[in-house]
Amino acid sequence: MANIIISPSKYVQGKGELANIAQYATKLGKKPFILISEGGKKRVGGIIEDSFKDTGCELVFEAFHGECSKNEINRLVAIVKEKGCDLVIGVGGGKIFDTAKAVAYYVESPVIVCPTIAATDAPCSALTVVYTDDGVFEEYLWLPANPNLVLVDTDIIAKAPARLLVSGMGDALATYFEAKACQASNATSCAGGHITIAAITLAKVCYQTLIEEGVKAKLAVEAGVCTTAVEKVIEANTLLSGMGFESGGLAGAHAIHNGLTCIKDCHHLYHGEKVAFGTLTQLVLENADEDLLDEVITFCM
């Protein structure tokens, strides 16, 4: 079996970058379908509309109903076809990205992902996690390609609640340990092959970045500022973890997360918070070195 690594076609991260979305989007389509929450549209809809002024593009905004389910995907596919849109843009959090990617796949259009939070590693992947309408994990939808563009405005992400950034660190925390487990067992990664040197290196750097910068980033976001530590953690949560998990592989941490979605008392917890618990459980199952366990548990606390 071949060694394989996959990634989005383009990744752009920086302060104020959402204002530049039109310069990228107009190369991909002329009638964008923009999936966004009602609250998200109030916060950043104006920035998007201003970016598209004088481009001749017709924007179609649609409110996300809250769950990446088959029913929601089918509802949105019907709207995209009815409106004749030729580009899908997902703006918001993980379930919006995953839904936008699935819709783009079914209507055979390009897709742009614009995170307003860094709470998961979903933006860069060729994967949609499908849930029931009640939020219980149902299946993975493996997509033939990664997003055409991931556009990350760090000013916007830094203004989100600190718990969301920390949740993203919880999701990213699993990346290296799951990739190592897949490498050790010679498993097939989500990319459809064995792990490359590049993928395991990205996964390792992801973990190192969290340990070195995570606490500083949390404190900065709580203070309402976007520091170098915040920028690094956003990249770790989004790009390093996204490429690392997809081309490295998933193991115990995410399997345990998927089981937790069936427990009603866990529904209030964010994805990354459940993945972090799964990571600790996986390390115990692997009889990890005590010093490593101490480091990871201390970080989580």
CB 100 within 8 A of CB 90: yes
* Marked catalytic residue, from 271, 289, 291, 294: 271
Q: Which two tokens stand for residue 269?
A: 């917890």
Specify whether the backbone of 135 is left (phi greater than 0), alpha (psi in -120 to 50) or beta.
left
Question: Is-catalytic flag, 271?
Answer: yes
* Marked catalytic residue, from 98, 121, 194, 254: 254
Helix, strand, coil % (nearest 5) of the chain?
55, 15, 30
The amino acid at 49 = E
* β-pair type (60-63, 87-92): unpaired
Question: Is-catalytic flag, 171?
Answer: yes
Q: Which two tokens stand for residue 228?
A: 């170098």
Neighbours of 228 (CB within 10 A): 11
Question: Is-catalytic flag, 257?
Answer: yes
* Marked catalytic residue, from 121, 153, 171, 194: 171
* Marked catalytic residue, from 257, 265, 268, 289: 257
Q: Give Rg (Cα) of the chain.
A: 18
CB 273 within 8 A of CB 253: no
CA angle 11, 12, 13 (to 5 degrees): 120
Active site residues: 171, 254, 257, 271
